[in-house]
Structure 1
Amino acid sequence: MRKLTWFNLVSLTLGFAFLYIPMLILITYSFNESKLVTVWAGFSTKWYGELMQNQAFLDAAWVTLRVAVISSTVATVLGTMAAFVLVRSGRFFGRTVFSGMIYAPLVMPEVITGLSLLLLFIALGVDRGVFTIVLAHATFSMCYVSVVVSSRLATFDDSLEEAALDLGCTPWDAFKSVTLPIIAPAVISGWLLAFTLSIDDLVIASFTAGPSATTLPIKIFSSVRLGVSPEINALSTIIIALVTVGVLAASITTKRAIVRQKRDAQMAAQ
């Protein structure tokens, strides 16, 4: 095991400082009494109250959450189906083209994806709004779900599914009772990844959103262009807190699952 050298320690310190000091400054100034975000005038939580009364931010947050839930669910279903085709169908005519179309959004610049979808919606005469944002987010996040689920299916033991079929299960019952519970962690991970990408997206949403539907990243970006307000700091602090709670909850759940598996293995060995 390598020892921690001074070079590694300094590199880690500078790296973490570069990442987290700006966040700490942002959190600190979200409790600033002054309207000027760079001038400290005392501790206050009034900007959180102002944020809760800002209907524009609340509407944008609701649109973002609704789009993220719907688009990630659609992307998970389509991505899982695509993963099954790629892994289980073997070689078939057009497989290379199909896999290329599935994985293209991974390397395609977001500007190109957003512009192409905008031109498509204009050509079809579709009014831009929540529906078009959902379609756009499901389109680019589906490939991420497909990659995650495909990696799990590649190591899946097909004999378990075959045993269920031999015992009288239909293909759907075998998938529902055997395959899906085993690949469920990958499917859930894919859904969470798609959900995160949808909430964080700005470029594609800016092309496909209309006047009646503004997501939170678009609202924040348009507000910051006019100057950073303390409400933006408060909103960013709330987002950081939610992400921190989610990461800690996931870490605790994972550790408990590992401890439970070890305990079950020890009991089985005894």
Structure 2
Amino acid sequence: MIRWITQRWTLWVGILVLIYMFVPIYYVVRLSFDQSGGRLDYDLNGTFTTEYWRAALQPGEMRDAVVNSLLIGLAATVVATILGTLLSFALARYRFRGRAPLNLLIFLPMATPEVVMGSSLLALFISAGIPLGFVTVLIAHILFCVSFVVVTVKARLAGMDPRLEEAAMDLYASERQTFLRVTLPLVAPGILAAALLSFSLSFDDFIITNFNTSSTFATFPMFVWGSSLRGIPREVNVVGTVMFLVAFLIVAVGEFLSWRRRAAQRAALRAG
């Protein structure tokens, strides 16, 4: 028995890590369906209810904050993914003057503490006379999301076999056809992963947003922080549950499509 356990210790460690990660998620999901005794009551009372799910859909401060976070996250993700992908191709495929310093500068927003970045951006916006609000928050989110996109897509490009593109061009494919039919499909998983990471970072950010927003524009993390003094409403757990389910669904669909593609490849090899 001991030998069987020691031979599979990595499996048990992985299971323990997953349990450690999913226990808080379990409580978030459970609290979204559990009847509360008051705003400061976070105990599990065992009474099932869906009133918090209905209340989360009603107009109010929390729904406005969620909508603001979604708008900022989607806009920042689209812009950062486009800019970061183009920059990744430039850094991975071309040699130009200043390439090494640019690689270093890309990592600075990731390594810089958020307090420093948030206060620096605040000073920049004030000196430039830009009013704080939606625009300044969006610019700030794009700035720190671009670095994560570049790192993710560049890693995908570094692991791609260049002989695939060479083979396509040997078969008389033009550069445009090679890019659209060979390069882009191979890099697409990295671009999608970078986009999902950017959205998660943007939706979750509090420190940089708090520095660069106005008193009339609040995102979901700012709403949670502001509600913590008087009691976080149970509807917050509903938003957390929905975000977790959406992320889980995206990953599950991606794994299913990958499994189908591998199964089709194995079937083709057996048929050949």
TM-score, normalising length: structure 2:
0.84
CA-atom RMSD, angstroms?
Answer: 2.8
Which moved further from structure 2: 113-122 or 227-236? Answer: 227-236
How far 1:79 moved relative to its partner?
1.0
Between the aligned partners of 1:13 and 1:89, the Cα distance in structure 2 is 43
Q: 2:155 aligned with 1:151, yes or no? A: yes
Match of 1:196 in 2: 200
How far 1:191 moved relative to its partner?
1.5
Question: Residues 210-259 of structure 1, C-alpha deviation per residue, up to 9 Å, x if partnerless?
Answer: 23432111112221232232222333333333333333223322222222
Any conservation in 1 of the 2:33–2:52 contact (CA below 8 Å)?
Answer: yes
Q: 2:78 aligned with 1:49, yes or no? A: no
The correspondence of residues 1-270 of structure 1 with structure 2, limited to 5 A, is: 3-5=4-6, 15-33=17-35, 34-35=37-38, 36-38=41-43, 40=45, 42-90=47-95, 92-158=96-162, 161=165, 164=169, 167=172, 169=174, 174-267=178-271, 270=272
Identity across the alignment (%): 30
The count of aligned residue pairs is 265
Any conservation in 2 of the 1:75–1:142 contact (CA below 8 Å)?
Answer: yes
How far 1:3 moved relative to its partner?
4.2
Between the aligned partners of 1:159 and 1:13, the Cα distance in structure 2 is 39
Between the aligned partners of 2:46 and 2:97, the Cα distance in structure 1 is 68
Which moved further from structure 2: 62-71 or 36-45? Answer: 36-45
How far 1:165 moved relative to its partner?
9.4
Which moved further from structure 2: 171-180 or 66-75? Answer: 171-180
The aligned amino acid for 2:222 is: I
Between the aligned partners of 1:253 and 1:44, the Cα distance in structure 2 is 35
Gaps of 5+ in 2: none
Question: Residues 109-131 of structure 1, C-alpha deviation per residue, up to 9 Å, x if partnerless?
Answer: 11111111111111111112222
Which moved further from structure 2: 154-163 or 219-228? Answer: 154-163
Partner of 2:5, secondary structure, is coil
Question: Residues 8-67 of structure 1, C-alpha deviation per residue, up to 9 Å, x if partnerless?
Answer: 677556544433333323322322333233262722211222222142121111111111
Flag the 1:174–1:141 CA change in 2: closer, same or farther, 3 A.
same
Partner of 2:47, secondary structure, is coil
Flag the 1:234–1:87 CA change in 2: closer, same or farther, 3 A.
closer
Question: Residues 62-95 of structure 1, C-alpha deviation per residue, up to 9 Å, x if partnerless?
Answer: 11111111111111111112112212222x3322
The aligned amino acid for 1:49 is: R
Gaps of 5+ in 1: none
TM-score, normalising length: structure 1:
0.84
Any conservation in 2 of the 1:29–1:40 contact (CA below 8 Å)?
Answer: no
Any conservation in 1 of the 2:32–2:234 contact (CA below 8 Å)?
Answer: yes
Any conservation in 1 of the 2:224–2:232 contact (CA below 8 Å)?
Answer: no
How far 1:139 moved relative to its partner?
0.9
Moved over 6 A (4+): 6-10
Between the aligned partners of 2:44 and 2:192, the Cα distance in structure 1 is 44
